[in-house]
């Protein structure tokens, strides 16, 4: 027997129409690549997204065609989020921080028919255009006055193209399982692989993002979206903001500490999401300007993902900003919410030191995401906070495979996706990453968590950033090498760092050597690029060897 409920498909177009109907005058603020601040509202974005849909129709784009973007966070990109997917085409947000060869590969692999780009990337587009065989039109996301003088075929001006379109458009209805957007993994090894989201998966993910036990976004929020719109659908925030009509603040390419602080101040931001590297730049700005008081900003919550949160970052946001840190774990393949770190009622009155340990865990599973950890033989491990193994996930917004079948069948026999992470899960369901499977250090038959050692090093006040890799050892197979970037103006010694670590980690986890470097390499999404470090130090001779 079926229920007697109306069967309406879960489509992304419903979000923008809801925002325009019930929150028409809530602001969308953008700092554009041109340097100006642009203001519109949800009604304005809805009208623009309808014009996008009409323009795509005029360009011959049909349902299922891929439409690429090389763009920062702005109202124009937001209109593409809705206009492309809402019309039935597939929005392919290209990460401009990838190597040009990777960008060339993924645009051709996706067979994008149109490429929208911010003027920041005009030289890159001119360089790549001859190799992009499927792209039939290049659209610069600017006005006529700022059109780039580049030699690419069928170059169009975004504002002119949109202004010529009608704002009347009836969003089509189709199967909610239809593809809505496409993101490629950062591809630290091999070619990037495409993750193809559906309208249904996106809407279900959006509903969970609003829950108080996740990010708790509401219409009272002013959300500054620092996480890029080209990275895992900006963690789903553009959709969540529309569902509740929250004010959005979009910083464009202006992610330096001063710009972020000023925009937070001017727009009275209450919640912001970003990766740790951006927050480090914000802290550096505050260090250079001690007269600034971040508590006056009124920021209530900071969302952090993409890399583990260190104790130093957690405590600085709590003490200096008076803000709650909401850590999360996920990946492009999980849309990306997997687990979110929120406290339980049982934690009221818990010893502060013990509470910090809970807060530093990646978080608890949310509805819709099943978790399991398994040993090398695939046997499920207990949730005791001690046993650690390979992490697998399953759910309605978790990838079932990669675009065009790249990588073959990836799910296990129970339909779980292998994340490539090693983790523990405690009796309360809090997941803590031990390492990436490829990054864990195997020493004398035991595993050392590079993440734990890095977090311990980062808690030293003179350490700006740290990385730990395993280096070959004749007796122990591998031993940890600690690479450290000092904070400007400091001179911490290896001996002082070892003493600091000795009070925080097991003795046999202590690095065999500490090296100071000027900078550490990062992936296109801001994570430490350990493949490059392992290659660089492949033949390094440890003093203990």
Catalytic residue numbers read 185, 333, 442, 447
The DSSP-derived string for 258-269 is HHHHHHHHHHT-
Strand 194-198: give its sheet, edge to edge.
Answer: 155-157, 137-140, 114-117, 66-70, 90-93, 179-184, 194-198
* Torsion angle defined by CA atoms of residues 16, 17, 19 and 25, in that order, rounded to the nearest 10 degrees: 110
CB 260 within 8 A of CB 227: no
Start-end of H helices in 9-74: 13-22, 42-58
The DSSP-derived string for 483-497 is EEEEPTT----HHHH
CB 465 within 8 A of CB 275: no
Q: What is the DSSP letter of 522?
A: B
CB 481 within 8 A of CB 457: no
416 token code pair: 């779980």
What is the separation of C-alpha 69 from the centre of its chain, rounded to a whole number of angstroms? Answer: 17
453 token code pair: 């050692």
- Bridge partner residues of 372 (DSSP): 392
The DSSP-derived string for 300-355 is -EEEE-SSPPPHHHHHHIIIII--EEEEEE--GGGSS-SEE----GGGTT--HHHH
Start-end of H helices in 178-308: 199-209, 237-244, 257-267, 276-288
């Amino acid at each position: 027997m079926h229920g007697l409920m109306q069967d309406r498909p879960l489509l992304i177009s419903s979000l923008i129409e809801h925002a325009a109907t019930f929150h028409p005058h809530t602001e969308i603020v953008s700092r554009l690549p041109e340097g100006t601040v642009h203001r519109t509202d949800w009604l304005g974005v809805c009208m623009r997204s309808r014009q996008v849909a009409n323009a795509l129709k005029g360009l011959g784009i049909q349902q299922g065609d891929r439409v690429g973007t090389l763009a920062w966070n702005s109202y124009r990109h937001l209109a593409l989020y809705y206009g492309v997917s809402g019309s039935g085409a597939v929005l392919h947000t290209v990460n401009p921080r990838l190597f040009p060869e990777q960008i060339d590969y993924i645009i051709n692999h996706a067979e994008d028919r149109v490429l929208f780009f911010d003027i920041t990337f005009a030289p890159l587009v001119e360089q790549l255009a001859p190799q992009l065989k499927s792209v039939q039109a290049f659209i610069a996301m600017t006005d006529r006055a700022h059109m780039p003088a580049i030699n690419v075929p069928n170059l169009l001006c975004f504002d002119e193209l949109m202004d010529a379109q009608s704002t009347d458009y009836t969003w089509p209805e189709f199967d909610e399982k239809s593809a809505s957007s496409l993101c490629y993994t950062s591809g630290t090894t091999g070619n990037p692989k495409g993750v193809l989201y559906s309208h249904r998966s996106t809407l279900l993910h959006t509903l969970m993002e609003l829950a108080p036990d996740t990010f708790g976004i509401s219409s009272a929020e002013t959300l500054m979206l620092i996480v890029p719109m080209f990275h895992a659908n900006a963690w789903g925030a553009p959709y969540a903001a529309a569902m509740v009509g929250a004010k959005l603040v979009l910083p464009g390419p202006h992610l330096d500490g001063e710009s972020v602080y000023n925009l937070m101040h001017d727009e009275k931001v209450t919640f912001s999401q970003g990766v740790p590297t951006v927050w480090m730049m914000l802290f550096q700005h505050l260090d250079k300007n001690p007269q600034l008081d971040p508590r006056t900003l009124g920021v209530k919550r900071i969302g952090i993902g993409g890399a583990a949160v260190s104790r130093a970052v957690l405590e600085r946001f709590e003490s200096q900003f008076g803000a709650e840190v909401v850590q999360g774990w996920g990946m492009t393949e999980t849309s990306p919410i997997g687990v979110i770190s929120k406290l339980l009622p049982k934690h009221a009155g818990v010893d502060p030191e013990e509470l910090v340990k809970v807060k530093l865990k990646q978080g608890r599973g949310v509805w819709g995401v099943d978790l399991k950890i398994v040993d090398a033989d695939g046997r499920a491990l207990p949730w005791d906070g001690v046993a650690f193994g390979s992490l697998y996930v399953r759910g309605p917004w978790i990838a079932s495979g990669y675009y065009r079948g790249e990588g073959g069948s990836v799910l296990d026999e129970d339909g779980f996706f292998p994340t490539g992470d090693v983790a523990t899960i405690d009796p309360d369901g809090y997941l803590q990453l031990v390492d990436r499977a490829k990054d864990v250090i195997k020493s004398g038959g035991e595993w050392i968590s590079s993440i734990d050692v890095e977090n311990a090093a980062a808690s030293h006040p003179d350490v700006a950033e740290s990385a730990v890799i395993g280096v070959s050892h004749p007796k122990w197979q591998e031993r940890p090498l600690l690479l450290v970037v000092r904070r400007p103006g400091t001179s911490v010694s290896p001996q002082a760092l070892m003493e600091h670590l000795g009070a925080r980690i097991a003795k046999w986890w202590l690095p065999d050597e500490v090296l100071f470097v000027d900078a550490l390499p990062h992936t296109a999404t801001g994570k430490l690029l350990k493949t490059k470090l392992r290659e660089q130090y492949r033949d390094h001779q440890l003093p203990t060897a």
